[in-house]
Structure 1
Amino acid sequence: MFRFDNPIYLWLLLLIPLSVMIYLYSIRKRKQRIARFGNPTLVRQLSPMTSKKRSWIKFVLLELSLLFLILILARPQIGSKLATNKEREGIETIIALDISNSMLAEDVAPSRLEKSKLLVENLMNKFSEDRIGLIVFAGDAFVQLPITSDYVSAKMFLDNINPSLIETQGTDIGKALQLSMNSFTPNSKVGKAIILITDGEDNEGGAEEMAKQAQSKGIKVFILGIGSKEGATIPMPDGGLLKTSTGDVVKTHLNEEMCKQIADAGHGVYLHVNNSSTADAVLGRELDKLQKGKINNIAYSDFDEQFQALALLVVILLIADAVLLERKRRW
């Protein structure tokens, strides 16, 4: 298992694009000063030993050195020794998240999708001994993260979720429920729950039957409907609004009745997600009611530092920068 022991230092990576912008700005200002001094072509002829290419190379070398130094500060490590499996009491939860384009609507702040991700992250913060898995779906469904007790990885995968992960649009809730059921471990003594978050639009059918199957297997189904009945337009990444093939602006609405029907079919629970935190509290209480069983968690007891190779690269890059002159060699 790979990890950064001090991941907070990775925020320093923002210094790299900042330094690039400053460098480009300095080049621009330098050109302006040369233009005020005299004809740029004549100035270049008066300084034939100046090399723009070498200046760029030296800048790239320094940027790479900065990158590797930041990674060293974050302390990259690889797990080298497995601890004895620890048995814990917990539940298994699969979160199926709708990532169709309609989830970009902003009738729930900041958007349906971002609100859903925030809800899931808050849920993870409350977990301690439980296992969690992530499934994303639209017109198709796939496993984003297999069921795990590694909440750090789960949050990383959650951050990267966006509608571009699935090209097929639509909302195939039935397929998402079926994939969720197949993603649990065979442990029958552990409480299992599917938390499906959707606005319920363009359902492909078969969802109620899948909910019944989940109930017959002892899996609790929670349908979280997000959005408003009044609806909202769908902003797109290019700054415009989603339109039909005829040019009409698309307006998306929460299909609450359909969400309730799926929950009722599986004797589950329907919750409406809006700008309040009511759904979070109710969901937490319902999950606490599930039977907790013994879960084997694999954990690493020892990690090996992996900074040595990066440190060597930094030394090589700095030596190369020192040796390389900005002006051309006479030969």
Structure 2
Amino acid sequence: MRLGSPWLLALAALLPLVWPWRRGAARTAALRFPTLAGLRAVAPAGAARRRIVLAVLRLVALVLLAVAFARPQAGTAATKVHREGVDVVLAVDVSGSMLSEDFTLGSGRASRLDAVKAVVKEFVAARAEDRIGLVLFGARPYTQCPLTLDHGWLLQNLERAKVGMIEDGTAIGSGLATAVNRLRASTAKSKFVVLLTDGQQNAGRITPETAAEAAAALGIKVYTVGAGTRGLAPFPMQDIARRGRARRDGAAQAPMILWRDPTSLVALLLVPALAAFFLWARRRRERALAAFVAAALLPAVAPDVDRRRRTARAVLVCGAILCLALALGGPMWGFRWQEVHREGIDLVVALDTSRSMLATDVKPNRLGRAKLAVEDLLAQLRGDRAGLVAFAGSAFVQCPLTLDQGAFRESVDSIDVGIIPRGGTNLGAAIDASLEAFEGRQGNHQALVLITDGESHEGDVKEATKRAQERGVKVYTVGIGTTEGELVPAETGGYVKDRKGQVVKSRLDEETLRQIASDTGGVYLHAE
């Protein structure tokens, strides 16, 4: 409990001065009459006691009014703290050997990856004010979560880490180099990498020594954590689990009049009740005077009776009660952070990363133009969650649904051709992965934006479109490229060729994209 204007409590100190003034006013005769016998005959019984009660009530009302002016407040206070935290990137091994069960968690066996996740959760819980990122690596590295203060979202990305999500192998050097690269642009005074792995380098082009030298050159410390025990460890034979899903709610702020205790506003009902009481008392007083003296003689007999002063007093008392009732409600104006449960739009962007997206029939190339389209779309979002799916021959949730536009933007920037090991364009897998990113929810507040050149080489697009339609998810398709087509650059130089040695020209398939949008109630757009 605190007071917004405690100095206004000094008004209560002036109340003792009111009593002598009231006593002085009482010495002036209201009625000039030689004897009180007639007054006692018409005066109501107990009038003296009621006058004392009325005086006490007036005093209490004045005290409460002074307290109301002081603005008592209760609740929590938000404090904005400006500090310089630490930037940390966790590099976690998700190779096949991390399934070895040489740890115990609770009463059962646990894999090395499960043990690493438990340790990471404790580490993150102890560093609430630091930005933390997550890099996973197997035979190649993959940025699972960019640097963020949203540790809830970070841990959800950690839960999604599974053995098998990246081709098997242990590229320690590449994983460490990617983690170091994530910290290269950091302006934090302190930054370091925590490397959690169980094995030796058996994949990747960058050696651990080279990555360590790069970290030393950039002033980045590297802490290594070994996951596993010496000797043999049991290894389970099982299918790889499906990827998990994540969700994050946000907070909104809005200028408005807020009430700390809205139920206290019931006291406003006292105002009309008090006004009715004063009106009834006035009429009763007038009837008593009329029974005692004629109206024509009233100015001579009771010259100090002033109806206007009594009316003004009644208005002031009613106003004081009104202010007191409003003060009890605790009016607050301005901004406050509050958790909002809302039904906004959940938007998943599925971005094609197949090699045909390197075609230059649009500038700088199809993938670059697609990223610009995503940036334009992101600028239109107002408090809606956005997720990102990268797809080629298979699909993967690159960024789960989040309100953190900065993290979403970094996920878009990290997308490149080749991020999905399996080549080709599987629109069916892209739609299915996007539906999975919606966390199994159904409703009219979900939309999928499919950005591709439309050439689907595998998968059943019609069945995937039907599943989206059944879920009530509208698919908005965006075509990248031209119908005339363009040659596709090869990884080793030149252009991609088919089995017959002919160069491959990739063309925009608008018909397929229009059909997908039409079947789900969406719209097809061509990105110029």
Q: TM-score band (shorter)? A: 0.5 to 0.7
Q: 2:475 aligns with which of 215, 221, 224?
A: 221
1:139-218 equivalent positions in 2, closer than 5 A: 139-188=393-442, 191-218=445-472
Q: 1:136 aligns with which of 374, 390, 402?
A: 390
- 1:252 to 1:60, Cα distance in 2 relative to 1, 3 A: closer
CA distance in 2, matches of 1:134, 1:175: 14
Equivalent residue for 1:10? Answer: 185
CA distance in 1, matches of 2:458, 2:216: 54
Alpha-carbon contact 2:345-2:384 (below 8 Å) kept: yes
1:114 aligns with 2:364: no
Alpha-carbon contact 1:213-1:266 (below 8 Å) kept: no
1:262 aligns with 2:516: yes
Alpha-carbon contact 1:96-1:137 (below 8 Å) kept: yes
Give CA deviations for 1:66-93 in whole Å, capped at 9, x if unaligned.
x68xxxxxxxxxxxxx986344562100
- 1:84 to 1:164, Cα distance in 2 relative to 1, 3 A: same
SS of structure 1 residue aligned to 2:383: coil
**Could you tell me which amino acid in structure 2 is paired with residue 176 of structure 1?**
A
CA distance in 1, matches of 2:339, 2:466: 35
Equivalent residue for 1:91? Answer: 345
CA distance in 1, matches of 2:509, 2:214: 53
Give CA deviations for 1:53-108 in whole Å, capped at 9, x if unaligned.
xxxxxx9999444x68xxxxxxxxxxxxx986344562100111111111110111
- 1:92 to 1:240, Cα distance in 2 relative to 1, 3 A: same
CA distance in 2, matches of 1:237, 1:114: 17
CA distance in 2, matches of 1:214, 1:123: 21
CA distance in 1, matches of 2:434, 2:513: 17
- Aligned-residue offset at 1:266: 2.1
Q: CA RMSD in A?
A: 3.1
Equivalent residue for 2:378? Answer: 124
Equivalent residue for 2:507? Answer: 253
Equivalent residue for 1:271? Answer: 525
- Aligned-residue offset at 1:177: 0.8
1:105 aligns with 2:359: yes
- Aligned-residue offset at 1:265: 2.2
- Aligned-residue offset at 1:204: 1.9
- 1:60 to 1:11, Cα distance in 2 relative to 1, 3 A: closer
Segments of 5+ residues of structure 1 without an aligned counterpart are 14-58, 69-81, 275-331
CA distance in 2, matches of 1:158, 1:61: 25
- Aligned-residue offset at 1:230: 0.5
CA distance in 2, matches of 1:258, 1:181: 19
CA distance in 1, matches of 2:393, 2:407: 26
- 1:189 to 1:229, Cα distance in 2 relative to 1, 3 A: closer
- Aligned-residue offset at 1:221: 0.8
- Aligned-residue offset at 1:205: 4.3
Name the structure, 1 or 2, with higher relative contact order (CA <8 Å, separation 6+): 1
| Greater displacement, 262-271 / 84-93 | 84-93
CA distance in 2, matches of 1:4, 1:202: 35
CA distance in 2, matches of 1:98, 1:151: 20
CA distance in 1, matches of 2:439, 2:215: 48
SS of structure 2 residue aligned to 1:90: coil
- Aligned-residue offset at 1:235: 1.8
CA radius of gyration, larger in: 2
**Could you tell me which amino acid in structure 1 is paired with residue 445 of structure 2?**
G
Task: State TM-score, norm by structure 2.
Answer: 0.37
Alpha-carbon contact 1:214-1:220 (below 8 Å) kept: yes
CA distance in 2, matches of 1:159, 1:242: 25
Equivalent residue for 1:318? Answer: none
CA distance in 2, matches of 1:181, 1:61: 39
Give CA deviations for 1:239-271 in whole Å, capped at 9, x if unaligned.
422222343221111111122122222232111
| Greater displacement, 158-167 / 244-253 | 244-253
Equivalent residue for 2:228? Answer: none
Alpha-carbon contact 1:223-1:260 (below 8 Å) kept: yes
CA distance in 1, matches of 2:490, 2:380: 33
Alpha-carbon contact 2:455-2:508 (below 8 Å) kept: yes
- Aligned-residue offset at 1:210: 1.9
- Aligned-residue offset at 1:11: 7.7
Alpha-carbon contact 1:92-1:132 (below 8 Å) kept: yes
CA distance in 1, matches of 2:385, 2:520: 22
Equivalent residue for 1:28? Answer: none
SS of structure 1 residue aligned to 2:503: coil
Structure 1 runs, 4 residues or longer, greater than 4 Å off: 59-62, 186-190
Alpha-carbon contact 2:453-2:480 (below 8 Å) kept: yes
SS of structure 2 residue aligned to 1:200: coil
SS of structure 2 residue aligned to 1:108: coil
| Greater displacement, 223-232 / 205-214 | 205-214
SS of structure 2 residue aligned to 1:225: strand
